[in-house]
Amino acid sequence: MSEYRTALIVGAGSGLSASLARLFSKNAMQVALAARTTDKLASLAAETGAKVFACDATQRAEVEKLFAQMDGSLGAPDVVVYNASFRTRGPLADLEPADVEKAMAVSAFGGFLVAREAARRMLPQGRGAILFTGASASVKGYAQSAPFAMGKFALRGLAQSIARELGPRGIHIAHFVIDGGIRSARRLVSPDKPDALLDPDAIAQSYLHVLQQPRSAWTFELELRPWVESF
Amino acid sequence: MSEYRTALIVGAGSGLSASLARLFSKNAMQVALAARTTDKLASLAAETGAKVFACDATQRAEVEKLFAQMDGSLGAPDVVVYNASFRTRGPLADLEPADVEKAMAVSAFGGFLVAREAARRMLPQGRGAILFTGASASVKGYAQSAPFAMGKFALRGLAQSIARELGPRGIHIAHFVIDGGIRSARRLVSPDKPDALLDPDAIAQSYLHVLQQPRSAWTFELELRPWVESF
Amino acid sequence: MSEYRTALIVGAGSGLSASLARLFSKNAMQVALAARTTDKLASLAAETGAKVFACDATQRAEVEKLFAQMDGSLGAPDVVVYNASFRTRGPLADLEPADVEKAMAVSAFGGFLVAREAARRMLPQGRGAILFTGASASVKGYAQSAPFAMGKFALRGLAQSIARELGPRGIHIAHFVIDGGIRSARRLVSPDKPDALLDPDAIAQSYLHVLQQPRSAWTFELELRPWVESF
Amino acid sequence: MSEYRTALIVGAGSGLSASLARLFSKNAMQVALAARTTDKLASLAAETGAKVFACDATQRAEVEKLFAQMDGSLGAPDVVVYNASFRTRGPLADLEPADVEKAMAVSAFGGFLVAREAARRMLPQGRGAILFTGASASVKGYAQSAPFAMGKFALRGLAQSIARELGPRGIHIAHFVIDGGIRSARRLVSPDKPDALLDPDAIAQSYLHVLQQPRSAWTFELELRPWVESF
């Protein structure tokens, strides 16, 4: 059980976000889900009792509105998880600049906007947690994947910087390096390679564990990968 | 609750080892404690039901004997924690070579000997976990602390190497970067800096969490530091 | 002496860029200088025989025009150095989103645009070099400096990604971690701390060395810091 | 041209050491070669005017004698390069403990002994350089290569630690990550993969460059790899 009460998950359309919503809800947290498009979140919201907000996290005004709506309904979140990301691949020479801008905006700039609003509310309380979902690309720039590397490296730079600023003010910042593919309805594990994709419920357990850490022994960065993943 | 049943803690004289023994015991694991000198382990053994073994982990014959004794009593451990370390400080020009050898032997070579015996028993089962306790010095060589850096860097190299070998064989290898001082009877937190030292019970909770991870989402490396620690 | 002939320096207004222009020119390279505002580049251009181009590196059309102008005058560069960066500081809660966007655009997105145009011209030749100027903030996110960390981390992600793609195609990508302050007219070394700021001419020598490396022994990343800098 | 005058190369039997000896000699440095067995060093000594010393770098008394002999002949070296290493491979369960001890002794402990004697002589002068040769295994522990990882990680920990101690006293410490195979008479580049092995002469040029850096812009760590090497 965590001492936190209200969790906002941004980028709520992913399978990991669904696992987090369920686990947080089971652990007595009130959950809020934010996503650019919310039409697919109805059943998850029903299942978890979550409140749903439409928000394009790359737009300052929308992020400010999201937090204002939280203030006026569930109250400011004491846990925020930033899961949004956008990736595109290809040889450098063929990449579309607009896609690169979008990758940086969704994967990193939105994380900044969300963390800023969260920090403004957590700082006066001297407590709270902001969790960022990274990837293999957070620590290694793969060939033909520059946009994702740029976004995820930037997000990690943000997380490190604000961990150093906000940690001593009581706000727990953590960055998860998800080093492998995540299992989903579209991406099934092959029977001859059991557990070769990360189970999103298992990832969620590690997020919850980090939320439960007392402040004398906080984790900033934690890698998660399948047993058979090369690294 | 972890699926593991028998945990061997090497370097059992430390406060972290005591916290681990208590927590593992509470989670239904049979605990074995190994240390070079065992006279101070009696009360912990009584409290946790642990079996105690004398073992200088830097000596091949003693490590082999330790595991043979385990084989003949509790059975081979499915969890091994390597906590032993030795440090000495000083300007490079003044360091005693014998101290440097000892730092490398206790902090790293002993870890190899213990992991080797553990792996020999875990590999046929296709399961098990070997956890290594690192320090700030595992990832940063501090001035006037070359011996500790040499030992802890080497231990991390060992852990990475065997994680890549043994992970895909079902054995979970994890390395913990304990980045701060650990609270103890001799090292108390000052009242004006609450929680500025790592609570060994809190560290132990993160070790247990790693043991509970399903193999689709294993952590290899995890940092733990007090909220106010600079990094 | 390098085998390269034509060097384009983007972000040409800095002291490091001036040192590079002088050194490249002395080493028989034709130099081109690109900067958003070019009015202060006249004397450097006169001294080094450099051609000067106005270019806002964050604007796709301007970067494409810059390279088209190069094509039509000096020819496509076989060396490109990306030096542009923008930073702003402050507590997370007080940062202006527009400043963060600018930091990411100037420090990283512009690097992508420039590298893309450069690669398009270097790939058919199977040779060339693209050098990126990083900072302490490329590898460590400092408190109250999130925007710079976001930009510089992203630039490093870009550099790593394209090093893996373009290296095996004959294009040398290198990333320099400038870990300290650079001496300038505005930032003088204090007499009691000699050489405590990086001499831009000394940095430039390391850039030239990297350009001179044969392809069997290329450096991707290299740190440069003053002897007294803590790290 | 470097300002240094006398270079001691320990582990002088390798191809890289030979390239260093030739390059240093051409750059007006007096060279000393130390190796456990010296019988194969005669022609290199003749070619470079180097003085040859027999020394097992893992033995304290022999290292002290080596430096005493230098004191009494060429004078204390102002450059020391530590090139010695020993590796053995294999599954963890099959590794011989004696081989692991040797890997740590040759690759790391010897580096400590040599650096200690070097520092004792350089500190009173407030100048000098100690260069360490690392490998891919310095920063990544590969499967089935634990002993080499342990030795090379430890050497890097030593180098970092003493860089932080000795840099501000005027002694330049540098660590080279040689990330690939080195070309040699026994290890030839295949014609269809040109320059796929590091040319030791090219590596030596980067060592010399680091020696030539003024103290305002020192490199601590530098990677070198062939253009086609994956990383």
Task: Give D2's pLDDT tier (boundaries 50, 70, 90).
Answer: low
Q: Does C3 touch chain A (CB under 8 A)?
A: no
How long is chain D?
231
The partner residue sitting opposite D161, judged by closest CB among B119, B145, B155, is B145
The partner residue sitting opposite A158, judged by closest CB among C93, C140, C146, is C146
pLDDT of B191 higher than 90: no
Q: For residue C67, how far is the Cα from the chain centroid?
A: 16
Q: What percent of chain A has pLDDT over 70?
A: 99
Q: What distance in Å separates residue B91's CA from the closest CA in chain D?
A: 8
The partner residue sitting opposite A116, judged by closest CB among C93, C141, C157, is C93
Mean pLDDT within A47-66: 98
Q: Which two tokens stand for residue C50?
A: 């450099």
Chain B residues closer than 8 Å to D90 by CB: none
**pLDDT value at residue B185:** 86
pLDDT of B2 higher than 90: no
Nearest-CA residue of chain D relative to B92? D116
| Beta carbons of D129 and D172 less than 8 angstroms apart | yes
Mean pLDDT within A172-186: 96
CB contact under 8 A, C92 and A165: yes
What SS3 state is found at C195? coil
Chain A residues closer than 8 Å to B183 by CB: 216
Q: Which amino acid is at D199?
A: D
Q: For residue B94, how far is the Cα from the chain centroid?
A: 29
Rg, C-alpha atoms of chain A: 17
> What pairing do the DSSP bridges indicate for beta strands D79-82 and A221-224?
unpaired
Q: What is the rounded CA–CA span in Å between residue C86 and residue C137?
A: 12
Q: Does D166 touch chain B (CB under 8 A)?
A: yes
Q: For residue C150, how far is the Cα from the chain centroid?
A: 17
At residue C148's C-alpha, the angle toward residues C145 and C152, to 5°, is 135
Chain D residues closer than 8 Å to C196 by CB: 216
H helices present in chain B, as ranges: 15-26, 42-48, 60-72, 97-104, 110-122, 146-166, 200-212
Q: What distance in Å separates residue B138's CA from the closest CA in chain D?
A: 8
What SS3 state is found at B224? strand
CB contact under 8 A, D97 and B143: no
| pLDDT tens digits, C135-176 | 999 999 999 999 999 999 999 999 999 999 999 999 999 999
Which of C16, C206, C218 is the best substitution to test chain D (most D C-beta atoms within 10 A)? C218
CB contact under 8 A, C223 and D226: no
CB contact under 8 A, C222 and D222: yes
Nearest-CA residue of chain C relative to A162? C143
Which of C160, C173, C221 is the best substitution to test chain A (most A C-beta atoms within 10 A)? C160
Mean pLDDT within D168-182: 98
Nearest-CA residue of chain B relative to A170? B227
Q: Which two tokens stand for residue D118?
A: 């070097």
Q: Does B190 touch chain A (CB under 8 A)?
A: no
Q: Does D95 touch chain B (CB under 8 A)?
A: yes
| pLDDT tens digits, D105-115 | 999 999 999 99
Is pTM beyond 0.80? Reply is yes
Worst-scoring range by mean pLDDT, A28-37, A53-62, A188-197? Answer: A188-197
Q: Which amino acid is at B185?
A: A
| Residue found by looking up tokens 């499967």 in the block | D143
**pLDDT value at residue D45:** 98
Q: Which amino acid is at B34?
A: A
Q: Reduced to 3 DSSP states, what percent helix, strand and coil does chain B have, rounded to the nearest 5?
A: 50, 20, 35
Q: Does A112 touch chain C (CB under 8 A)?
A: yes
pLDDT of B1 higher than 70: no
Count of CB atoms situated within 10 Å of the CB of A105: 20
The partner residue sitting opposite C219, judged by closest CB among D170, D199, D223, is D223
What is the average pLDDT value for chain B, to the nearest integer?
Answer: 97
Q: Does B114 touch chain D (CB under 8 A)?
A: no
Q: What distance in Å separates residue B171's CA from the closest CA in chain A?
A: 8
The ipTM of this complex is: 0.97
**pLDDT value at residue A99:** 97
**pLDDT value at residue A191:** 84
Task: Give A145's pLDDT tier (boundaries 50, 70, 90).
Answer: very high
Q: Does C18 touch chain D (CB under 8 A)?
A: no
Backbone angles phi, psi at D108, to 5 degrees: -125, -50
Of the two residues A73 and D189, the one the predictor is more confident about is A73
Q: Does C123 touch chain A (CB under 8 A)?
A: yes
Q: What is the rounded CA–CA span in Å between residue D183 and residue D211?
A: 23
Q: Does D196 touch chain C (CB under 8 A)?
A: yes
CB contact under 8 A, D164 and B146: no
Q: Which two tokens stand for residue C4?
A: 């390269």
Chain B residues closer than 8 Å to A188 by CB: none
Check residue D219 and report its DSSP letter. -
Chain A residues closer than 8 Å to B226 by CB: 215-218
What is the average pLDDT value for chain D, to the nearest integer?
Answer: 97
Q: What distance in Å separates residue A162's CA from the closest CA in chain C?
A: 6
Q: What is the rounded CA–CA span in Å between residue D39 and residue B114?
A: 40
**pLDDT value at residue A1:** 52
Q: Which two tokens stand for residue D167?
A: 């840099």
CB contact under 8 A, B109 and D123: no
| Beta carbons of B34 and B45 less than 8 angstroms apart | no
What is the average pLDDT value for chain C, to the nearest integer?
Answer: 97
Task: Give A127's pLDDT tier (boundaries 50, 70, 90).
Answer: very high
Chain B residues closer than 8 Å to D76 by CB: none
Q: What is the rounded CA–CA span in Å between residue A132 and residue A172?
A: 11
**pLDDT value at residue D137:** 98
The partner residue sitting opposite A92, judged by closest CB among C95, C116, C157, is C116
Task: Give A2's pLDDT tier (boundaries 50, 70, 90).
Answer: low
**pLDDT value at residue D186:** 86
Q: What is the rounded CA–CA span in Å between residue B196 and residue B228?
A: 6
Q: Which two tokens stand for residue B13?
A: 């004289």
Q: What distance in Å separates residue D215's CA from the closest CA in chain C?
A: 5
Q: Does A217 touch chain C (CB under 8 A)?
A: no
* Of A20, A104, A32, A22, the residue nearest A67 (C-alpha): A32
The partner residue sitting opposite A226, judged by closest CB among B164, B195, B217, is B217
**pLDDT value at residue A192:** 87
Q: What is the rounded CA–CA span in Å between residue B45 and residue B168?
A: 34
CB contact under 8 A, D101 and B109: yes
| Residue found by looking up tokens 């509970």 in the block | B212
Mean pLDDT within C68-94: 97
Q: What is the rounded CA–CA span in Å between residue B198 and residue A215?
A: 9
CB contact under 8 A, D206 and C217: yes
